[in-house]
């Protein structure tokens, strides 16, 4: 038997990302949003998948309170050992996409859920392999003019026009690449008693 909504802990998304908020809305659970204030710097020699998981947990830990369930998530795009974060400027986005042209990039999307009632923590990393087609600078700039993806790791929004930059993608969860792996998150929420189908 699922708990009634009034007895279920308050659900908090520890993120200011509009993409994560829109994805979480698909689950039909009421939630609040809080901005986690954490240092997102990479540690020396830190593997991309470890960085994504560490930051997802750190974001959730930053806002957890008793009687809350907190979701944290982070995404790291990696080409070998090189990591691509949110570009923040058009020139950085151009540079990122030039480097990724014709390459396979792994997007590590980690999701964490912390139960503030007992401190129970769950965290998973969901990798998505993305193969970019060969891109010239004119194509890249036309793309960024139409869809500035300055707030997206790797500078390409697969849920929008960015899909035209790709040759292929493979992964276990189509929502992971957008920024919040809902299959893993739903599994975590069911484990703590959320009323999901």
27 neighbors 192 (Cβ within 8 angstroms): no
Instruction: Give the N- to C-terminal CA distance of the chain in Å, as an integer.
Output: 12
CA separation for the pair 104, 26 (Å, rounded): 29
Task: Enumerate residues 6+ apart whose C-beta is below 8 A from 189.
Answer: 27, 29, 69, 113, 196
The residue whose two tokens read 């009634």 is 4
Map residue 77 onto helix, strand or coil.
strand
- Give backbone dihedrals phi and psi of 189, rounded to 5 degrees, phi first: -65, -40
74 given a catalytic annotation? yes
Q: How many CB atoms lie within 10 A of CB 83?
A: 18
Per-residue CA distances from 25 to 11, 18, 70, 135 (Å): 12, 11, 15, 34
Catalytic residue, candidates 74, 115, 136, 172: 74
Pairing of strands 82-84, 68-79: antiparallel
Catalytic site positions: 74
């Amino acid at each position: 038997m699922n708990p009634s909504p009034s007895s279920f802990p308050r659900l908090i998304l520890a993120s200011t990302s509009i993409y994560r908020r829109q994805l979480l809305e698909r689950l039909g659970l009421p939630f609040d949003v809080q901005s986690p204030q954490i240092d997102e710097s990479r540690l020396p020699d830190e593997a991309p998948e470890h960085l994504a998981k560490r930051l997802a947990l750190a974001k959730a830990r930053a806002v957890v309170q008793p009687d809350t369930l907190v979701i944290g998530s982070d995404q790291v795009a990696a080409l070998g050992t090189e990591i691509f974060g949110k570009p923040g400027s058009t020139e950085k986005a151009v540079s990122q996409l030039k480097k990724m042209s014709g390459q396979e990039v792994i997007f590590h999307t980690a999701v964490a859920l912390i139960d503030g009632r007992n401190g129970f923590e769950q965290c998973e990393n969901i990798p998505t392999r993305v193969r970019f087609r060969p891109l010239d600078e004119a194509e890249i700039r036309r793309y960024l003019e139409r869809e500035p993806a300055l707030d997206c790791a790797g500078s390409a929004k697969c849920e929008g026009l960015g899909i035209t930059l790709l040759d292929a993608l493979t992964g276990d969860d189509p929502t992971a690449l957008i920024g919040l792996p809902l299959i893993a998150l739903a599994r975590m929420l069911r484990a703590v008693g959320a009323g999901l189908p």
